[in-house]
Amino acid sequence: MMFPMVLLRLVDLVLYQLLANSYYRAARKMKSYGFYLGYHSSKPPHQASFFPSITKCDLEGRGSQTLVCDIHRVLLRSHSFFPFFMLVAFEGGSIFRAFFLLMSCPLLLILDHELKIKVMTFITFCGLRIKDMESVSRAVLPKFYLENLNLQAYEAFASAGSRVVITSVPRVMVEGFLKEYLSVGDVIGTELHTVGRYFSGFVNGSGLVVKHRALKDYFGDRKPDIGIGSSTLHDHLFISPCKEAYVVNNEEFKNNPKSEMPREKYPKPLIFHDGRLAFLPTPSSTLFMFIWLPIGIILAIYRILIGILLPYKWALALGIWSGLDIKMKGNVPKKTEQEKGVLFVCTHRTLLDPVFLSTSLFKPLIAVTYSLSKVSELIAPIKTVRLTRDRNKDGETMQKLLREGDLVVCPEGTTCREPYLLRFSSLFAELADEIVPVAMNTKVSMFYGTTASGLKCLDPFFFLMNPKPSYHIQILGKVPKELTCSEGKSSCEVANYIQQKLGDALGFECTNFTRKDKYMMLAGNEGIVQQS
């Protein structure tokens, strides 16, 4: 019975609400603005504001006051919520769901705000698992929300002691971020209909949240102390009951760098995040991604094959010709122990760290890893050895490998995308005195080559699918003999010293977070690839 009911609601939505109710509005919009492919902002004509700008808000003495606002076009600088629906569709759903959402753009151009939200909600959430949405809300969206925060609006928002956010977008898309990062007390948003463990794609019977009504229902006869809205008439109605009201004029902040939130002012440090997309997926950016995708797949296969089949110098030259940006700084110091190889200690940015180091040095290296997929092992152009997480056994294995040649270790145990270094495992410090720290950093423009909850076997492919992925490698000087374990230093002291040295070289902050911390936060597991 559930499927016919959903089908009838869909037919009603398409035939009546989307078509019959939209023709008149579409004609007026096309007459006023013309038909163009833009950034789906539904941006209304500029309206004179009855309330002062948010820049006029006094931030002092607000600790006991209550503030109410929306996240859309108030806390966020973006004119549209489309990119955040696209993030849910791509990261929580699939590339096909994301493509369908992109194809809806011409229809979205002619719809009003309410119908636009309903259409994007249906395409994004129909059949989506609740746990997948929770994962995206926890691990993907906060990064893009933080980067999109309006600094002036946030400072006024943070000055209040009690904060309430009322929005017409689905509550599940914003509540996690607002409560964890912005310390919001209550979030009132549109509720979505669910069937078992899945979203149906429809909003609950109460429909989209009407903000001024929701404010009245929540506060009753009380008046909020501060209200912040956009410069639209709808938001003027929303914030008019407040004792003080201010507006965020997006045109005023559009090209103003002072409205951008710098990383050092984030309300909470962003250390871990997940997802494949490295850009905010606006309609135009998403279109370019889909156009690039076939080219990127071919390019990734080409780059992998030249790394496997060709000598290092040829592979490096052809890789650079294909768009790889590889910069090398520093030289490998001479060995003093002939019976043992050099132990390279690297920061860990992607699974390809040892591969790029080996290629840049024009010499074969051995890499050890705790958890690696079979596909990654198969396409690796260097020898890889799996460790067991048994300290004694792993120490013996690494000692044996050092007698065979130079060894690469990444003591963080997992990758980190942001400018932070995770806690170093100290095992490597007990194995050798010939320790060479290597500071590695990467930059990508389209896809991240790491994942916590996705298919790790695709990590190298996604990194190499970028148009111009970069790897910057800096070989630091050998660790002084007096700072090694053979001279009385503890393994933890050596590990901490090397971590700090690498952090200084990269301008990264050292932390005590571990691999387990990352995976428990992002994926709800310990990040171990299970072997059959």
How many CB atoms are closer than 10 A to CB 93?
23
Q: Choose the weakest-confidence range: 30-44, 169-183, 205-219.
A: 30-44
Backbone dihedral region of 220: left (phi > 0), alpha (psi from -120 to 50 degrees) or beta?
Answer: left
Alpha-helical runs (H) found in 140-197: 141-148, 151-159, 171-181
pLDDT one-digit tens code per residue, 122-154:
999 999 999 999 999 999 999 999 999 999 999
pLDDT digits (tens, 9 = 90+) for 238-247: 999 999 999 9
Does 200 fall in a domain?
Answer: yes
- 328 and 202 belong to one structural domain: no
pLDDT at 363: 92
Question: What is residue 252's predicted lDDT score, i.e. its pLDDT?
Answer: 66
DSSP state of 340: S
Give the distance between the most distant pair of CA atoms in the chain.
83
Q: What whole-number distance in Å separates Cα of residue 211 and Cα of residue 305?
A: 56
CB 77 within 8 A of CB 250: yes
CATH number of the domain where residue 143 is located:
3.40.50
pTM: 0.88
Q: Does residue 239 belong to any structural domain of this protein?
A: yes
Same domain for 202 and 292?
Answer: no
Same domain, 59 and 160: yes
Which of 23-37, 291-305, 323-337, 474-488 shows the lowest per-residue confidence on average (mean pLDDT)?
23-37
Q: Say if residue 234 is in the same domain as residue 318.
A: no
Does residue 299 sit within a domain? yes
The rounded distance, in Å, linking the Cα atoms of 70 and 182 is 13
Residue 12 has pLDDT above 60, yes or no: no
What pLDDT was estimated at residue 356?
96
Length of the chain: 532
Find the helix or strand (DSSP H, E) in which 32 lies. helix 23-33
320-332 per-position pLDDT tens digit: 999 999 999 998 8
Helix (H) or strand (E) holding 515: helix 515-522
What are phi and psi for residue 36, nearest 5 degrees? -145, 155
- The total of structural domains in the chain comes to 2
Q: Are residues 203 and 59 in the same domain?
A: yes
Domain region containing 202: 54-251+258-265
Same domain? For 207 and 143 the reply is yes
Examine the domain organization and report whether 89 and 238 are in the same domain: yes
